Structure 1
Amino acid sequence: KTYPRTGSLFGFVAYDKISEVCEKIMIVQRDNGDRKNRKHARLKYTIDDLGVETYKKMVEELLGYKFEEAKPYKIESNIDYFGWSKDETGLNHYTCFIENGRVEDVAGKPQKEGLKKIALYFKEHNVGNFRLTGNQHILVSDVPDDHLDTIKKFLKEYNLDNLNHSALRLSSASCVAFPTCGLAMAEAERYLPVLITKLEEELEKL
């Protein structure tokens, strides 16, 4: 049986420990998750099977320290902010729109080739990074100002800077479904772009 579930609160950690904590959470899932029943393999089921406090304690044992008491917080948005931004350290970051999270080379959209070109440039000059967003898009990250023009050139050349889409399309996402998922009963990823286009056309009539 599958079911939806909201997240569980473990506590507070400092900003510089976030990556370490996320790694340990996934290690506990890796070592204790259900590998026999795919429908029961997700993290939420492992937490429910073990119990929140037990799972939290296992993470703390790997970390070597305990979570601090939770602090007040407010989630105001879960959307991605596309385009360029500059962080407090002066580095630049660009959020690329990757439809349904699938990087591919198709006519007019050679994304895979473009990201490979950027990756090789990052490696050659020992700068930059890639990050994935929770909404399946890609951040071209940690770009110093003196490399900015080159990265902008790559983004434009490989059509990775194309943000000329409706808010509906920019916020859309789907699971893979056919032909990959054995649990699927209908199309999803392959049909969603077509559906979005139809919805956009209807919205234009309003």
Structure 2
Amino acid sequence: MKRKQTTIFQCFPKFSPITTTEEEPGQAAVLKVTENEPGATANVPGCALCSATKSTGVLTEQRVSMSEEWVHFKIQSSDSSRSTSLASLRNKIRRHETSRAHKIPQELTEKGGQDVVGNVVRAVSETVFAETDSVFRTAYYLAKMNRPFTDHDSLIELQETNGANMGTSLHSRYSSTTIVEHIAKEMQKKIVHSIVTSSSKLSVLIDEATSAGLVD
């Protein structure tokens, strides 16, 4: 494969150019240099991506850590000769670019535009809502079928045995009583709201026996 000559300082024209060999497009883009400090003799390269990330965050892996030299622009090459120095620098760049410690910041940068935390929260919330919905349906069944609330726990166990995910809370008969009371209040609100908003005509039918009973 023909090698393309490029410069790691292409994006930083105020620095003296140092020629490197780029194996793949974009290799030079990960590099950045720090401006010479008083008394310094050369610009020191580092990784702008790793410097901006600084930590692997939630993608931390065992035995993988970000190099302080790349993060703080302290990469040094051999000073024996220019050719040896450039060869050493190219080798370090190539190894860093293909390392897991550099790929993790790349993944974090790509996911930076995504709502990762929001997606996790929504996924957890959906799971909890599904579990709670199953428990509410069980309590509603007991009230509808005139079953004792003491059956609530056993029905939960039966559904879990059949593979349903019922969560870990609201399994007691006391919880079942509270759930049914809540459902009753919500149903009452909906019925009253439906009657009021529909502007339906209401009538009261009283027969003679009822009237006589009230008079007596």
- Identify whether the pair has TM-score above 0.5, normalized to the shorter chain: no
- By relative contact order (CA 8 Å, sep 6+), the higher-ranking structure is 1
The structure having more radius of gyration, on CA atoms, is 2
Greater share of helix: 2
Shorter chain as denominator, the TM-score bin is under 0.3
